[in-house]
Amino acid sequence: MTRKDYTAIAAAFHKMVAGEQCYTRETMAAMVLTIQNVADALASDNRRFDRRKFYQACLFGEGL
């Protein structure tokens, strides 16, 4: 996978997290767990994968 792919995945998560829906604590916890699981899969695919940047992009919309 390429940086473009990682950016698209992070943008999709960010769109969900930053959406205008009201999330419960349980829903947000599930979303964070999903992001962590996807990060695990991406890290196993690429040894140079930067989890910190990915989490920031998913949660705060900062680019990779």
Q: What is the pLDDT of residues 3-60, one digit of tens each?
A: 899 999 999 999 988 886 667 888 888 999 999 999 999 999 999 999 999 999 998 8
3-state helix, strand and coil shares in percent for the chain, rounded to the nearest 5: 70, 0, 30
Question: Can you give the residue ranges of every domain in the chain?
Answer: 3-60
pLDDT at residue 11 in the model? 94
pTM: 0.86
Amino acid at 50: D
Yes or no: say if 18 and 61 are a contact pair by the CB < 8 Å rule. Answer: yes
For tokens 């900062």, the residue is: 62
What pLDDT does residue 22 have? 67
